[in-house]
């Protein structure tokens, strides 16, 4: 990809900035060839990767280098897009929101600085991947479990900052953040929470510190660059008990949510059960053409036939209990009774006890196999995720499910959705899987995405996270008092980042200097 | 301060394989040729950086099985790869596989991985690539 300069920066100034950056990190860690730029673009984009073209990338190895880079960015007014490992797949990967932005790739800052088994926490740099931490815990026989997202290629820090989730009782990853070290857009270094006390012995124990608490202000944010993150890890339980339930009919997701939500809220279930349409298993293991060659979305009768052949219900519920065996058994009985009111078939039970192999334990074990689904359509696959947050109640879940499925069918894309149940809400991740070389399909997907945002907003449903192409659209749905929250975010942005050098457009927050770029 | 374990390569399963390959390497190495060492380094890097997807059971192996058949699905067993091809595909991606940039995977490391995947038959005796994905 040819060079796209940052808005308002001349090529001469830009080249001087790159030279200055090379003076900090070394020439080999400033990447600015056409091929380099391609490697930071959104590989899975639905035909609009060229709206988010980085001008270069810089890879520091230390906090001091990050600070020096930030000072150079201010001097030359060159914007930076920080990434931890750049594997935010389905949401833009490593690509910046605004073309011309320099990617600040923190992958080389990959030290596991501390793991404390007694108190169950770790302190990480942003480049540490899920696989890295997992192997570290395994190799050192540390009895702490991780919460891992479906595709585990990425960064532990990056995922928590983007509010990703996993499937253990510690699954709401952003909630486990306890203490950050952050380089502000002016290069100043701060530590949040108790880390603000230089000799604190509880930085990773007490989240709030004293006065305003800042950890969440650096999540999905362009207010600072996180260079260290404390995170709570779950102590290995004595036992786990998994229950896998097939729900035969599309509307069963409604009563399932209503049965599970009170159990989740009361702590009978402590992790976040996932209710996903079973097509995802078929799509991971096979290709669409093996089942159906017709145009348009997979017809309902064909889908039923596929599910029947694979012995699957319309939805699959996966949930798991963690803790003492006796307690798990009692809770499992309560859950089975709730389901038996509605379905007759056997509920699959998977038991694990401490000392058994980690497979089937329900511990977070990293894998990348979830990525298989992009092969479903054939060709060069891509995917994008539309992820609204709904109240954990059938009236909302059914309404949203039917409305989304209908929208998918209108443009001929197969419905692929899941509901992950938290204490009071459910996150509804809808994947759109496409052949990214099929321009007609990708343009329909892009239009669908905007329609889904509007549909959801009309019902009062917000998104928990979104792709870089839709950050403004989603931000604008937060419209109370003429978007006063956006104005507050912009006021903070202005105060912290007057030159607008950090991640312009992230989550719809633009610095004044860059605001013309708003779509 | 504890270092990232992948820097020192202490995955438990690797020790046995390494000892075996070094023993065989000792038997075949000659003079100042450093290819045995490069194969070992490349193998370690491959397993750390590519192994998530490209060992047995991994998502890349599954995709390659579908595309090229089982016999050509495990990259470590392939004998038809060239250095130029491995390097190009790693940088530009292919089908479902995203590109890898020169910060997460610098050129000297990719060179070693490509050297390992295209190693001559004489350096393949200690093949342990059938171990599962980590």
Q: What six digits make up the tokens of A364?
A: 């977070």
Domain assignment of residue A400, yes or no: yes
Identify the band that residue A280 occupies on the pLDDT scale cut at 50, 70 and 90: confident
> Within 13 Å, how many C-alpha atoms sit on residue A364's CB side?
34
Res. B31: pLDDT tops 70: no
Domain assignment of residue A381, yes or no: no
Domain assignment of residue A42, yes or no: yes
Q: Are residues A214 and A72 in the same domain?
A: no
Q: What is the crossing angle of helices B107-117 and B83-92, to 10°?
A: 130
Active site residue A266: no
* pLDDT (average), residues B77-91: 97
Residue among A30, A39, A380 with most chain B CBs within 10 A, to mutate? A39
Q: Check if the beta carbon of residue A60 is closer than 8 Å to that of residue A106.
A: yes
| pLDDT tens, residue by residue, A216-269 | 999 999 999 999 999 999 999 999 999 999 999 999 999 999 999 999 999 999
Q: Are residues A32 and A99 in the same domain?
A: yes
Identify the band that residue B2 occupies on the pLDDT scale cut at 50, 70 and 90: very low
Q: Are residues A256 and A218 in the same domain?
A: no
CATH code for the domain of A495? 1.10.45.10
Q: Are residues A272 and A221 in the same domain?
A: no
- Chain B residues inside the 8 Å CB shell of A59: 103
How many Å separate Cα B67 from the centre of its chain? 20
Q: Which of B6, B58, B92 sits opposite A132 (nearest CB)?
A: B6
- Computed over every residue of chain A, the mean pLDDT equals 96
Task: Classify the complex by whether its ipTM is higher than 0.90, answering yes or no.
Answer: yes
Identify the band that residue A139 occupies on the pLDDT scale cut at 50, 70 and 90: very high
> Can you tell me the distance from the alpha carbon of A139 to that of A276, in angstroms, rounded to the nearest whole number?
33
Would you tell me which residues 22-81 of chain A have a C-beta closer than 8 angstroms to some C-beta of chain B?
28-29, 31, 35-36, 38-40, 43-44, 57, 59
* Per-residue DSSP letter, B50: I
- Taking CA atoms, B63 is separated from A6, A137, A150, B67, in Å, by 38, 30, 18, 6
Q: Which of A408, A465, A470, A514 is labelled catalytic?
A: A465
**pLDDT number for residue B58:** 92
Q: Are residues A280 and A413 in the same domain?
A: yes
**Pairing assessment for the beta strands A388-391 and A462-463 based on DSSP bridges:** antiparallel
CATH code for the domain of A131? 3.30.465.10
CA angle, A307 then A311 then A317, to 5°:
85
- Taking CA atoms, A394 is separated from A419, A421, A498, in Å, by 11, 12, 46
Active site residue A91: yes
User: In the beta sheet, which residues pair with residue A190?
Assistant: A182
Indicate the SS3 state at residue A281: helix
Res. B21: pLDDT tops 60: no
> Can you tell me the distance from the alpha carbon of A455 to that of A462, in angstroms, rounded to the nearest whole number?
10
Q: Are residues A478 and A492 in the same domain?
A: yes
Q: Check if the beta carbon of residue A105 is closer than 8 Å to that of residue A57.
A: yes
Q: Determine contact: A201 vs chain B, CB below 8 A.
A: no
Res. B19: pLDDT tops 50: no
Active site residue A167: no
Q: Are residues A206 and A231 in the same domain?
A: yes
Domain assignment of residue A261, yes or no: yes
| pLDDT tens, residue by residue, A426-459 | 999 999 999 999 999 999 999 999 999 999 999 9
What is the distance in angstroms between the Cα of A203 and the nearest Cα belonging to chain B?
16
User: In the beta sheet, which residues pair with residue A319?
Assistant: A243
How many domains would you assign to chain A? 4
Res. A307: pLDDT tops 50: yes
Among A79-83, A168-172, A367-371, A454-458, which is the least confidently predicted range? A367-371
- Computed over every residue of chain B, the mean pLDDT equals 79
Domain termination residue (choose one: A105, A126, A144)? A105
Q: Are residues A142 and A254 in the same domain?
A: no
* Per-residue DSSP letter, A377: T
| pLDDT tens, residue by residue, A164-180 | 999 999 999 999 999 99
Domain assignment of residue A289, yes or no: yes
Q: Are residues A250 and A173 in the same domain?
A: no
Q: Do B101 and A132 count as a contact with CB atoms less than 8 A apart? A: no
* pLDDT (average), residues A345-363: 93
Closest CA to A382 of A413, A405, A419: A413
Q: Check if the beta carbon of residue A431 is closer than 8 Å to that of residue A416.
A: yes
- Chain A residues inside the 8 Å CB shell of B47: none
Indicate the SS3 state at residue A428: strand
Indicate the SS3 state at residue A37: helix
Q: Which of B96, B104, B133 sits opposite A381 (nearest CB)?
A: B96
Res. A509: pLDDT tops 90: yes
Domain assignment of residue A119, yes or no: yes
**pLDDT number for residue B17:** 41
Q: Are residues A249 and A327 in the same domain?
A: yes
Q: Check if the beta carbon of residue A408 is closer than 8 Å to that of residue A431.
A: no
DSSP string, A93-108: TT--SSTTPEEEE-TT
Domain membership of residue A413 as a residue range: 239-362+388-464
Q: Determine contact: A112 vs chain B, CB below 8 A.
A: yes
Q: Check if the beta carbon of residue B5 is closer than 8 Å to that of residue A132.
A: yes
**pLDDT number for residue B126:** 56
**pLDDT number for residue A16:** 98
Alpha helix (H) ranges present in chain B? 5-8, 14-28, 35-45, 51-54, 59-68, 83-92, 107-117
* pLDDT (average), residues A194-200: 98
Res. B26: pLDDT tops 50: no
Specify the higher pLDDT residue, B127 or A321. A321
Domain assignment of residue A2, yes or no: no
Domain assignment of residue A186, yes or no: yes
> Can you tell me the distance from the alpha carbon of A461 to that of A390, in angstroms, rounded to the nearest whole number?
6
CATH code for the domain of A70? 3.30.43.10
| pLDDT tens, residue by residue, A27-65 | 999 999 999 999 999 999 999 999 999 999 999 999 999
Domains of chain B and CATH, by start: 34-134 (1.10.760.10)
**pLDDT number for residue B13:** 35
Q: Which of A44, A91, A408, A425 is labelled catalytic?
A: A91
Q: Are residues A398 and A269 in the same domain?
A: yes
Q: What six digits make up the tokens of A485?
A: 């929250």
Residue found by looking up tokens 């696959």 in the block? A381
What is the distance in angstroms between the Cα of B26 and the nearest Cα belonging to chain A?
28
Domain termination residue (choose one: A53, A72, A105)? A105
Q: Are residues A140 and A69 in the same domain?
A: no
Q: Cα dihedral angle (B23, B28, B33, B34), rounded to 10 degrees?
A: -30
Specify the higher pLDDT residue, A351 or A284. A351
What is the distance in angstroms between the Cα of B39 and the nearest Cα belonging to chain A?
23
| pLDDT tens, residue by residue, B116-130 | 999 999 998 655 544
Q: Check if the beta carbon of residue B131 is closer than 8 Å to that of residue A85.
A: no
> Can you tell me the distance from the alpha carbon of B117 to that of B110, in angstroms, rounded to the nearest whole number?
10
Domain termination residue (choose one: A213, A235, A257)? A235
Q: What is the crossing angle of helices A63-76 and A11-25, to 10°?
A: 160
**pLDDT number for residue B32:** 55
Residue among A81, A151, A154, A371 with most chain B CBs within 10 A, to mutate? A371
CATH code for the domain of A308? 3.40.462.10
Q: Determine contact: A108 vs chain B, CB below 8 A.
A: yes
Number of H helices, E strands in chain B: 7, 0
Q: What six digits make up the tokens of A299?
A: 């017809």
Q: Do B95 and A381 count as a contact with CB atoms less than 8 A apart? A: yes
Res. B6: pLDDT tops 50: no
């Amino acid at each position: 990809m040819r060079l796209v300069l940052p808005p308002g920066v001349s090529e001469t100034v830009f080249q001087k900035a790159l030279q200055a950056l090379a003076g900090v990190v070394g020439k080999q860690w400033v990447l600015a060839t056409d091929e380099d730029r391609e490697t930071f673009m959104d590989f899975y984009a639905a035909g609009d990767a060229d709206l988010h073209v980085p001008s270069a990338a810089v890879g520091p190895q230390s906090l001091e280098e990050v600070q020096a880079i930030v000072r150079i960015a201010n001097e030359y007014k060159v914007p930076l897009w920080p990434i931890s490992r750049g594997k935010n797949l389905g949401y833009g990967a490593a690509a910046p929101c605004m073309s011309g932005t320099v990617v600040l790739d923190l992958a080389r800052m990959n030290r596991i600085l501390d793991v404390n088994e007694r108190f169950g926490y770790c302190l990480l740099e942003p480049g540490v991947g899920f696989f890295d931490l997992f192997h570290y815990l395994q190799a050192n026989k540390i009895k702490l479990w991780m919460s891992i997202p479906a595709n585990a290629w990425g960064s532990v820090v990056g995922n928590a900052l983007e509010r990703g989730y996993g499937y253990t009782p510690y699954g709401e990853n952003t909630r486990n953040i306890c203490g950050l070290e952050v380089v502000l857009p002016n290069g100043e270094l701060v530590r949040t929470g108790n880390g603000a006390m230089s000799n604190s012995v509880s930085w990773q124990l007490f989240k709030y510190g004293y006065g305003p608490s800042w950890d969440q202000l650096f999540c999905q944010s362009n207010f600072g660059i996180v260079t260290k993150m404390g995170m709570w890890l779950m102590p290995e339980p004595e036992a786990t008990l998994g229950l896998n339930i097939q729900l035969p009919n599309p509307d069963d997701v409604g009563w399932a949510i209503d049965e599970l939500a009170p159990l989740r809220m009361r702590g009978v279930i402590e992790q976040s059960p996932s209710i996903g349409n079973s097509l995802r298993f078929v799509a991971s293991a096979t290709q669409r053409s093996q089942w159906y060659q017709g145009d348009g979305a997979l017809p309902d009768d064909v889908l039923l036939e596929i599910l029947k052949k694979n012995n699957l219900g319309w939805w699959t519920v996966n949930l798991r209990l963690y803790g003492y065996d006796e307690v798990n058994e009692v809770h499992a009985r309560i859950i089975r009774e709730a389901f038996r009111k509605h379905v007759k078939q056997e509920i699959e039970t998977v038991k694990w006890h401490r000392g058994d192999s980690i497979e089937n334990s329900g511990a977070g074990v990293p894998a990348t196999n979830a990525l298989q689904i992009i092969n479903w359509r054939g060709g060069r696959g891509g995917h994008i995720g539309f992820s609204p947050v709904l109240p954990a109640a059938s009236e909302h879940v059914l309404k949203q499910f039917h409305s989304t499925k209908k929208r998918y069918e209108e443009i001929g894309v197969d419905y692929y959705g899941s509901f992950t149940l938290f204490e009071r809400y459910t996150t509804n991740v809808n994947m759109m899987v496409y052949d990214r070389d099929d321009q007609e399909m990708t343009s329909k997907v892009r239009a669908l995405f905007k329609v889904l945002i509007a549909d959801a907003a009309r019902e009062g449903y917000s998104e928990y996270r979104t792709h870089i192409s839709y950050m403004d659209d989603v931000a604008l749905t937060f419209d109370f008092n003429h978007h006063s929250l956006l104005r507050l975010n912009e006021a903070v942005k202005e105060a912290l980042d007057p030159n607008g050098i950090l991640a312009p457009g992230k989550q719809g927050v633009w610095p004044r200097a860059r605001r013309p770029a708003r779509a | 301060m504890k270092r990232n374990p992948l820097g020192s390569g202490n995955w438990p399963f690797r020790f046995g394989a390494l000892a075996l390959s070094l023993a065989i390497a000792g038997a075949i190495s000659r003079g100042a040729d450093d290819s045995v060492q490069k194969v070992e380094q490349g193998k370690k890097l491959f397993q750390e950086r590519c192994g998530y997807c490209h060992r047995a059971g991994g998502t890349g192996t599954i995709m390659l099985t579908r595309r090229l058949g089982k016999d050509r699905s495990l990259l470590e067993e392939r004998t038809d790869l060239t250095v130029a091809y491995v390097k190009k595909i790693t940088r530009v991606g292919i089908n479902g596989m995203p590109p890898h940039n020169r910060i997460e995977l610098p050129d000297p490391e990719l060179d070693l991985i490509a050297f390992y995947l295209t190693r001559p038959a004489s350096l393949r005796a200690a093949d342990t690539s059938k171990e599962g994905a980590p």
